[in-house]
Every structure is written in structure tokens, then in C-alpha cells.
Chains A and B, each alone.
Chain A
Amino acid sequence: ELKVEQNPLFLSMQEGKNYTIYCNYSTTSDRLYWYRQDPGKSLESLFVLLSNGAVKQEGRLMASLDTKARLSTLHITAAVHDLSATYFCAPFTYGNKLVFGAGTILRVKS
């Protein structure tokens, strides 16, 4: 059974700083999704990574996928308060279901 570990689970950072969220998963998966969830809201799709070495960037966020290492990263550059949210990674499994990590709560302080 696919297990997904995100770290850190909680991240408090100052505006303007850089940081990386890590997503490790336990079995073979060649594609992975990142989602954002604001408090009290549903999940919003951020990135779809469909192959080994895939890199996607949107604004201050950049996601990458290393299927050999079973690792995805979400890098935050020069954080701003608006990025405060919970971020989930979800590798695709061949059981046709998305298995989500526990989420990383990001708080960006002014």
C-alpha cells in the first residue's frame, strides 16, 4: 500500500524567505499532484507532474518530481503572506486512487 510522507508538517516562515516542502512516497508512481487548501475551503489543484524530472513553476512556487527517488519537492521562493495555506501532495497509484500526504501547514509571517 502506498504511503506518503510530507515534511515538515508545519512551517512558519518570514516573508521573503525561501523554503522547500518534501513529499516522499513508498511505492512506484510516475506522476504526482500538488494541491493547496485554504482554511475552511476545498482543495485547489496547483501542479500536475506527469513524468520523472518534471518541473513546473507558478509564481513563487516550483514543484519537481524524481520518480527514482520517490520524491517530490515544492519550493517556495521569497514567500509572501498570500501563500499561507495547507499544501498536499498526492502520488497517483495504479489502484486508480490518489493517496494524499498529511499536508504541510504553511504560515508566512509579515
Chain B
Amino acid sequence: GAGVSQSPSNKVTEKGKDVELRCDPISGHTALYWYRQSLGQGLEFLIYFQGNSAPDKSGLPSDRFSAERTGGSVSTLTIQRTQQEDSAVYLCASSLKGPSDQEAFFGQGTRLTVV
């Protein structure tokens, strides 16, 4: 497809379980971002990948959160030992280069519910 694709669209998990969220960016986009949006809130930056550079992980809220980007394309956000406060919509975005050049295009998000 032409847009940013995220899967799953919805995920319900039990507290303490690990989850993996996937993001397929737009083909050719070198920059990829993960954000978190809690109900009725703004967007919280989590992590940023740009090409082969070391990712900017400054937004990850705890060491239970990690992300990787394989082959400069698909990215996976992993949350270990999920907590109820992790419940949110996780949004992925990509841009052709960094945000200095073009806006980021967002996927539809993964709604995570921790019960």
C-alpha cells in the first residue's frame, strides 16, 4: 500500500505480558517515528530512527520499552511486562527524510489495552 501500515490495529493483553507492535513505513522513507497517544491526550514522542544512524530513544518511558528497525524499513516496538498505564494508541509515522525536510505521514495506529 501507499501509506504507513501498522499491525495489529487493536491489541488486548494481560498485565505482565509482552507485546510487539509493527510498523511498515512508506517505501523509501528513511525516517521513522513512534508516538503514544493516551485517551484524550496529545502525542508523546517515543523514538526516532533515521537511516543507519543511532536511534533517538530519549522518549522511551522506561526500560520495558524498546524498538528496532530492521533493514531500514519495518520497525517493531516491544513493550515488556505490560502495565495498565501502557494502554494507549501507539502511532507510527515516516517521512522521506527527517522532519527538517518533509512532514511525517502517520499510520492508523495500534490501540493497546492492558487488562
A-side interface residues toward B, CB under 8 Å?
Answer: 31, 33, 35, 41-45, 48, 88, 92, 95-103
Contact = CB atoms under 8 A, between A and B. Distances in A.
Interface stretch (B11-19, B21-29, B98-106): B98-106
A43 B48 contact: no
Interface in B13-63: 31, 33, 35, 41-43, 45, 48, 50, 56, 58-59
Contact of A42 (B41, B100, B109): B109
A43 to B, nearest CB: 4
Interface residues of B, number: 25
Interface of B: 31, 33, 35, 41-43, 45, 48, 50, 56, 58-59, 91, 93, 98-100, 102-109
Given A42-B109, A45-B105, A96 B43 contact: no
A106 to B, nearest CB: 15
Contacts of B102: 48
Contacts of A101: 42
